């Protein structure tokens, strides 16, 4: 099975809409598609932030990228979504509220965007001619202990279940779930890089670990899913972990470390596949795929046959703390230079 993730002709010949298209992922995805699909039929950025759309339009001027369009709207507004989806073949759903502390303080706002917005998109896709949908998830959706993770778990369930009532439509819904994106807005690495200038770095828990993926790798995985998903999968990449103390050492080896305690809703280690999911999880090589437990559009045995994949062992779990692949301090530094700041030097 070809796991190379550059957009191929089947993507480049389509009209694609990206919800949350002005976010970190959205901008990277748009850049990837425009660079690799010069004759893309249409690429629509759907988001609610007019300033970010304006700034993005300066980066991708219409004179050079005539297929790129900007559509102001909110996934909470189903009528607006339906209008934006006219003539669209493929949807990448990246719109979400995602700050964990903000979710605890404003729970219903997250429910309206992350859950109701997901259902609005599903209904709108069913009402139009959309053929492929890939939604972005998070490691926090596996065994969630905070509201943000719970809303994303609900969103995942909605997209997977949508395959059961697509009828005779040529329409597939799938989900991509991965860990912390290196250098994304609000993530720990740019936070530490900024704070290192003060000579002090706050550590929540010395034992804390997280999965790590670059923005480019996340985009490539979504491109792969758009080409290869059969529908009903939650795809999970095999990626390395890092220790939060190693991130601090990589960025500010001369800084004073202060242990401040775990914030509400945080875990010491993140999971992407729980042991309860193992019975429905298959190994695709560089990725895992979690299939629905029951009543799905495709059975595990049939999926194994179609994908020539293998099933994981019973009780298997994918946890950032027990992950066999950990980044060293020097590897973290090299990744920061490659994906965050080429001029980075430890403080």
Whether the predicted pLDDT of 4 surpasses 90: no
Cβ atoms 237, 286 nearer than 8 A: yes
pLDDT of residue 296: 60
To which H or E segment does residue 307 belong?
Answer: helix 300-307
Q: For residues 93 and 119, is the Cβ–Cβ distance under 8 A?
A: no
Instruction: Say if 203 falls within a structural domain.
Output: no
pLDDT at 263: 82
Query: Average of pLDDT values for 230-259?
Result: 96
Per-residue pLDDT, averaged over 15-25, amounts to 96
Partners of 309 in the β-ladder: none
pLDDT of residue 300: 85
Q: Which domain holds residue 55?
A: 9-179+213-238+271-318
Interval 134-152 mean pLDDT: 96
Q: What is the mean pLDDT of the chain?
A: 93
Whole-number pLDDT of residue 185: 76
**In-domain check, residue 116:** yes
**Residue 205 domain-assigned (yes or no):** no
Task: Report, as an integer, the average pLDDT of 315-343.
Answer: 96
Report yes or no on 328 lying in a domain.
Answer: no
> Which of 30-34, 92-96, 295-299 shows the lowest per-residue confidence on average (mean pLDDT)?
295-299
The residue ranking higher by pLDDT, 266 or 160, is 160
Sign of the four-CA dihedral 285, 288, 291, 293: positive
Structure tokens at 307: 């994908």
Q: What percentage of residues in the chain have a pLDDT greater than 90?
A: 86
Name the strand (E) or helix (H) holding 175.
Answer: strand 172-176
Q: How confident is the model at residue 7 (pLDDT cuts 50, 70, 90)?
A: very low
Summarize pLDDT for 98-140 with one digit per residue, the tens: 998 899 999 999 999 999 999 999 999 999 999 999 999 999 9
Residue 1 has pLDDT above 80, yes or no: no
pTM above 0.75, yes or no: yes
Inform me whether the pLDDT recorded for 5 exceeds 70: no
- Do the domain assignments include residue 225? yes
Place of tokens 């945080």: 266
Q: Under DSSP, is residue 43 helix (H, G, I), strand (E, B) or coil?
A: strand
Percent of the chain with pLDDT over 70: 96
Residue 104: inside a domain: yes
Q: What are phi and psi of 211, to 5 degrees?
A: -70, 155
pLDDT class of 6 with cuts at 50, 70, 90: very low
Active-site residue set: 140
Model confidence at 211: pLDDT above 90 = yes
Please determine, for residue 223, whether its predicted confidence score (pLDDT) is greater than 90. yes
Buried b (16+ CB within 10 A) or exposed e, 152-170: bbbbbbbbbbbbeebeeee
Bridge partners (DSSP) of residue 134 are 92, 174
Which pLDDT tens digit goes with each residue over 260-319? 998 888 899 999 999 999 999 999 999 999 999 865 667 788 899 888 899 999 999 999
**String of DSSP letters for 209-252:** EEEEE-HHHHHHHHHHHHHH--SS-EEEE---EEEHHHHHHHH-
| 88: pLDDT strictly greater than 50 | yes
3-state secondary structure 81-148: HHHHCCCCCEEEECCCCCCHHHHHHCHHHHHHHHHHHHHHHHHHHHHCCCCEEEEECCHHHCCCCCHH
Give a yes or no: residue 93 inside a domain.
yes
Domain count, the chain: 1
In a domain, 139, yes or no: yes
Q: What is the CATH number of the domain that holds 145?
A: 3.40.50.720
pLDDT score of 2: 40
What pLDDT, on a 0 to 100 scale, did the predictor assign at position 344?
95
pLDDT of residue 295: 56
C-alpha atoms less than 13 angstroms from C-alpha of 309 in its C-beta half-sphere:
24
């Amino acid at each position: 099975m070809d796991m190379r993730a550059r957009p191929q002709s089947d993507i480049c010949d389509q009209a694609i809409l990206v919800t949350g298209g002005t976010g970190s992922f959205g901008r990277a995805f748009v850049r990837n598609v425009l660079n690799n699909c010069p004759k893309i039929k249409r690429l629509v950025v759907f988001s609610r932030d007019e300033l970010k759309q304006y700034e993005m339009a300066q980066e991708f001027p219409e004179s050079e990228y005539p297929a790129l369009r900007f559509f102001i709207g909110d996934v909470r507004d189903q009528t607006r979504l339906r209008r934006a989806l006219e003539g669209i073949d493929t949807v990448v759903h990246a719109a979400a509220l995602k700050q964990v502390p903000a979710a605890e303080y404003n729970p219903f706002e997250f429910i309206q965007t992350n859950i109701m917005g997901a259902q609005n998109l599903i209904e709108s896709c069913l009402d139009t001619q959309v053929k492929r949908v890939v939604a972005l998830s998070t490691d926090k959706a596996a065994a969630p202990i905070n509201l943000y993770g719970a809303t994303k778990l609900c969103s995942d369930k909605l997209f997977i279940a949508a395959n059961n009532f697509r009828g005779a439509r040529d329409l597939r819904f799938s989900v991509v779930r991965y860990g912390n994106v290196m250098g994304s807005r609000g993530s720990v690495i740019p936070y530490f890089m900024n704070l290192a200038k003060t000579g002090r770095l706050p550590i929540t828990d010395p034992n804390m670990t997280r999965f790590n993926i670059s923005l480019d790798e996340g985009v490539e995985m979504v491109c792969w899913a758009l080409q290869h998903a059969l529908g009903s999968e939650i795809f999970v990449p095999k990626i390395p972990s890092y220790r939060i103390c190693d991130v601090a050492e990589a960025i500010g080896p001369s800084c004073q470390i202060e242990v401040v305690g775990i914030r509400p809703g945080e875990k010491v280690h993140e999971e992407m596949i729980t042991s309860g999911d193992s019975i429905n999880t298959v190994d695709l090589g560089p990725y895992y795929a979690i299939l629905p437990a029951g009543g799905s559009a495709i059975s595990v045995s049939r999926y194994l046959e179609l994908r020539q994949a293998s099933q994981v062992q019973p009780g298997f779990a994918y946890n950032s703390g027990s992950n066999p692949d950990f980044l060293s301090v020097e590897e973290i530094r090299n990744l920061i230079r490659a994906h965050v700041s080429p001029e980075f030097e430890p403080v």
